[in-house]
């Protein structure tokens, strides 16, 4: 049994707290928002946004960040990506050097182009960071629907410790040393999922979405390899796996926001309708900046940015993608 804290009591943090408690860990679930903790205390069998999930009575609920960060074997960062830096800044006074922190949010910080483990290490250089990612909607993880994800860490023993802490008969954990690849796969697929939602909102077919997802994976892999990631990672759970589920599922807030944009909503109106953080909107600009920095062609990401921030219509963006100059799928000379 390990002492584990989950920072962030949204749907994903709560679903992971349920899994951790089922593995007989001593679990603390923290939120900065008293209303979230009050709601969970009031009815652990009616968890907000997690139908049919039950939060065990053994899970300690708190708004005290010092309590949540003191004396833990593992700290899970489950706050939404725009709040990772601010949460790290608030928590650093209570987190000792060498503390193992696993980030489970998916995103890239727009202002710095850092991945989220890089953000945590920027604030707390002496902690040990890892990442957990993959095709894992909280709505299913909270109900013990069989799910497989991957943990990335620099040290094998750290990856194994996190694997042992989370893994059970219906939450399967793989390990992988490619931290940057796992983080980029989990972040960039949200941008492609916005585009997939747009395709559905426009009323187009399976052929169109399959093309978009396939070429989207090419863009993710191209940038990821340029940044030092392993191509095999992008063909795995945090790449292809997460892309498939996020582009096709009714649980995907990124797909749902894209669908509304395809129906004519503005970006802000779509986000307001979804009522949750749409990570792809926050990662889109950073992805485009990274593409320019590493001289990588990412036409889908480019068009998503134009729709989100430059007033381009979804139909115009799709037309631009399909009327681009002819391309080779693989290098013909090979």
Give the model confidence (pLDDT) of 198-221 as tens digits. Answer: 999 999 999 999 999 999 999 999
Nearest Cα to Cα of residue 257 among 302, 176, 198, 317: 198
**Contact call for residues 45 and 14 (beta carbons, < 8 A):** no
Q: How far apart are CA 305 and CA 283, in angstroms?
A: 10
Q: How far apart are CA 234 and CA 237, in angstroms?
A: 8
The pLDDT score that the predictor gives to residue 162 is: 98
Q: Do the domain assignments include residue 333?
A: no
The pLDDT score that the predictor gives to residue 110 is: 86
Active-site residue (options: 3, 106, 154, 189) = 189
Confidence of residue 334 (pLDDT cuts 50, 70, 90): low
Average pLDDT over residues 261-268: 88
Residues 37 and 172 in one domain: yes
Residues 141 and 246 in one domain: no
Q: Do the domain assignments include residue 164?
A: yes
Of 177, 200, 222, the last residue of a domain is 177
Of 123, 155, 177, the last residue of a domain is 177
Q: Do the domain assignments include residue 10?
A: yes
Q: Between these two residues, 91 and 326, which has the higher pLDDT value?
A: 91
Q: Do the domain assignments include residue 328?
A: no
Residues in a beta bridge with 115: 108
Q: Within 110-266, where are the H helices?
A: 116-123, 138-141, 156-166, 179-201, 206-226, 231-234, 242-248, 253-262
**Contact call for residues 27 and 60 (beta carbons, < 8 A):** yes
pLDDT, tens digit, 9 for 90 and up, residues 224-258: 999 999 999 999 999 999 999 999 988 888 999 99
Residues 156 and 229 in one domain: no
Of 152, 177, 202, the last residue of a domain is 177
Residues 162 and 225 in one domain: no
CATH of the domain at 148: 3.40.50.720
Domain that holds residue 123: 3-177
- Indicate the SS3 state at residue 140: helix
Which structure tokens are listed for 107? 């995103």
Which structure tokens are listed for 140? 């299913």
Q: How does 299-320 read in b/e, with b if 16+ C-beta sit within 10 Å?
A: ebbbbbbbbbeeeeebeebbee
Q: What is the pTM of this model?
A: 0.93
Q: Is 263 a catalytic residue?
A: no
Hey, which of 31-45, 243-257, 288-302 has the most confident mean pLDDT? 288-302
Residues 312 and 248 in one domain: yes
Residues 169 and 193 in one domain: no
pLDDT, tens digit, 9 for 90 and up, residues 89-132: 999 999 999 999 999 999 999 899 999 999 999 999 999 999 99
Q: Do the domain assignments include residue 247?
A: yes
């Amino acid at each position: 049994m390990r002492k584990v804290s989950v920072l962030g009591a949204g749907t994903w943090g709560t679903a992971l707290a349920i899994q951790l408690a089922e593995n007989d860990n001593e679990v603390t679930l923290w939120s900065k928002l008293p209303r979230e903790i009050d709601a969970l205390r009031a009815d652990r069998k009616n968890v907000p946004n997690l139908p049919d999930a039950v939060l065990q009575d053994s899970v300690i609920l708190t708004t005290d960040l010092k309590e949540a960060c003191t004396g833990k074997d593992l700290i899970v960062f489950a706050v939404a990506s725009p709040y990772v830096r601010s949460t790290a800044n608030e928590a650093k006074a209570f987190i000792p050097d060498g503390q193992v922190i696993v980030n489970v949010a998916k995103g890239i910080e727009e202002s710095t182009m850092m991945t989220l483990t890089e953000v945590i290490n920027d604030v707390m250089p002496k902690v040990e960071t890892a990442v957990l990612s993959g095709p894992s909607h909280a709505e299913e993880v909270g109900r013990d629907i069989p799910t497989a994800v991957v943990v990335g860490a620099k040290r094998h023993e750290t990856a194994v410790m996190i694997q042992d802490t989370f893994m059970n008969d219906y939450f399967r954990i793989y390990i992988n040393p490619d931290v940057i690849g796992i983080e980029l796969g989990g972040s960039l697929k949200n941008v492609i999922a916005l585009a997939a939602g747009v395709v559905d909102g426009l009323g187009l077919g399976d052929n169109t979405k399959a093309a978009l997802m396939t070429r989207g994976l090419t863009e993710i892999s191209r940038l990821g390899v340029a940044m030092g990631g392993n191509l095999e990672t992008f063909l795995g759970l945090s790449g292809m796996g997460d892309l498939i589920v996020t582009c096709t599922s009714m649980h995907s807030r990124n797909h749902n926001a894209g669908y509304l944009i395809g129906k004519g909503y503005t970006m802000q109106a779509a986000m307001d309708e979804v009522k949750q953080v749409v990570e792809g909107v926050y990662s889109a600009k950073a992805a485009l900046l990274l593409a320019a920095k590493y001289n990588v062609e990412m036409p889908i990401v480019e068009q998503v940015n134009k729709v989100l921030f430059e007033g381009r219509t979804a139909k115009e963006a799709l037309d631009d993608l399909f009327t681009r100059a002819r391309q080779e799928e693989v290098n013909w000379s090979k």
